[in-house]
């Protein structure tokens, strides 16, 4: 497998049409995050796992209780192929290619267009680890270990940074000052800022004011803060 032929990406699947061929444990695991993300999921499979059956009963996905046939991928934007029967998987892959649908192939990742990484989340911080199919179990373990090794305040710091970034982009016109201010507001700067001003609505209002009136002074203050952040 070409190690540089895979581009890591975050997909927004809300409302996208996903059709799975096969409803076993592999399909269930691949579909779980897609369902959670609000994809519109259909499955063609003579059988379902209990978990998928429950989702079908609850109307969270639609189920065709039969074997795959050509045409099932007519509306699919993403095809999840997971029958474990090589000839069926291949026919479904060919149809997906005909339709221009993307393929997630559970039995042969390298035959598809996308692979799922192992994921660990801390708030909006998303760690995704892939071994490109060498060992999904190792990928899962690494993602867990990396997440466990992180400081506990990342969700709070990133929530603050998201708000700070929005304020800066609204109040400082695109250009050199904005770029330097965004760069100066790294994680240490955000921690300093939260410690100094509290991170409540009043502190963000203050930031609105400072970014509007004197962004250069704000950059200098960040660079002078006791943590010394913003200077790297």
Ligand X SMILES: C[C@@]1(CC(=O)O)C2=NC(=C\c3[nH]c(c(CCC(=O)O)c3CC(=O)O)Cc3[nH]c(c(CC(=O)O)c3CCC(=O)O)/C=C3\N/C(=C\2)[C@@H](CCC(=O)O)[C@]3(C)CC(=O)O)/[C@H]1CCC(=O)O
Least distance (Å) from ligand X to the CB of residue 14?
A: 18
CB nearer to ligand NAD: pick between 136 and 155: 136
Q: How far is the CB of 218 from ligand X (least distance, A)?
A: 41
Q: Which of residues 136-195 bind ligand X (CB under 6 A)?
A: 136-137, 139-140
Choices 5-13, 109-117, 185-193, 194-202; region in contact with ligand X by CB under 6 A: 109-117
C-beta of 12: minimal distance to ligand X in Å?
17
Rounded to an integer, what distance in angstroms lies between the CA atom of residue 111 and that of residue 132? 12
- The backbone torsions φ and ψ at residue 106, rounded to the nearest 5 degrees and listed phi first, read -75, -25
* DSSP characters over 95-122: HHHHHT-EEEESS-GGGSS--PPEEEEE
Bridging pattern class, strands 78-81 and 102-105: parallel
- Site residues (vs ligand NAD, CB under 6 A): 21-27, 29, 44-47, 67-68, 82-85, 88, 106-107, 136
Distances (CA, A) of 112 to 11, 36, 80, 142: 16, 22, 9, 23
Of the candidate spans 15-23, 89-97, 100-108, 151-159, the one that interacts with ligand X by CB under 6 A turns out to be 100-108
Residue 225 contacts which entry, ligand X, ligand NAD, none (Cβ below 5-8 A, type-dependent): none
> Distance between CA atoms of 20 and 114, rounded to whole angstroms?
14
Is residue 107 near ligand X by the rule CB under 6 A? yes
- Least distance CB 40 / ligand NAD (angstroms): 19
Q: What is the rounded radius of gyration, in angstroms, for the C-alpha atoms of the chain? A: 23
Could you tell me if 184 and 223 are in contact, meaning their C-beta atoms sit under 8 angstroms apart?
yes
Closest separation in Å from C-beta 156 to ligand NAD: 33
Stretches 90-98, 114-122, 152-160, 168-176: which one binds ligand X (CB under 6 A)?
114-122
Q: Where are the alpha helices (DSSP H) in the chain?
A: 25-36, 50-57, 86-99, 136-148, 154-171, 176-184, 187-197, 201-213, 215-224
**Closer Cβ to ligand NAD, 28 or 77, answer by number:** 28
The residues of the shown chain that bind ligand X, judged by CB under 6 A, are 29-30, 104, 106-109, 115-118, 130-137, 139-140
């Amino acid at each position: 497998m070409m190690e540089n032929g895979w581009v890591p990406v975050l997909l927004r699947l809300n409302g996208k049409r996903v059709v799975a061929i096969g409803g076993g444990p592999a399909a269930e695991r691949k579909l779980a995050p897609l369902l959670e993300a609000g994809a519109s999921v259909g499955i063609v499979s003579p059988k379902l796992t209990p978990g998928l059956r429950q989702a079908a009963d609850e109307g969270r996905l639609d189920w065709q209780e039969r074997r795959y046939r050509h045409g099932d991928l007519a509306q699919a934007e993403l095809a999840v192929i997971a029958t474990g029967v090589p000839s069926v998987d291949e026919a479904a892959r060919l149809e997906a290619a005909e339709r221009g649908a993307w393929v997630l192939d559970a039995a042969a990742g390298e035959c598809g267009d996308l692979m799922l990484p192992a994921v660990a989340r801390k708030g909006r911080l998303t760690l995704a680890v892939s071994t490109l199919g060498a060992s999904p179990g190792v990928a899962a373990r690494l993602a867990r270990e990396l997440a466990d090794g992180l400081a506990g305040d990342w969700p709070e710091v990133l929530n603050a940074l998201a708000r700070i970034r929005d304020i800066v982009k609204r109040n400082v016109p695109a250009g050199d000052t904005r770029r330097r201010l965004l760069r100066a507001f790294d994680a240490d700067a955000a921690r300093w800022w939260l410690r100094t001003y509290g991170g409540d609505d009043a502190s963000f209002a203050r930031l609105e004011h400072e970014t509007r009136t004197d962004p250069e002074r704000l950059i200098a203050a960040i660079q002078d803060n006791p943590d010394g952040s913003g200077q790297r």
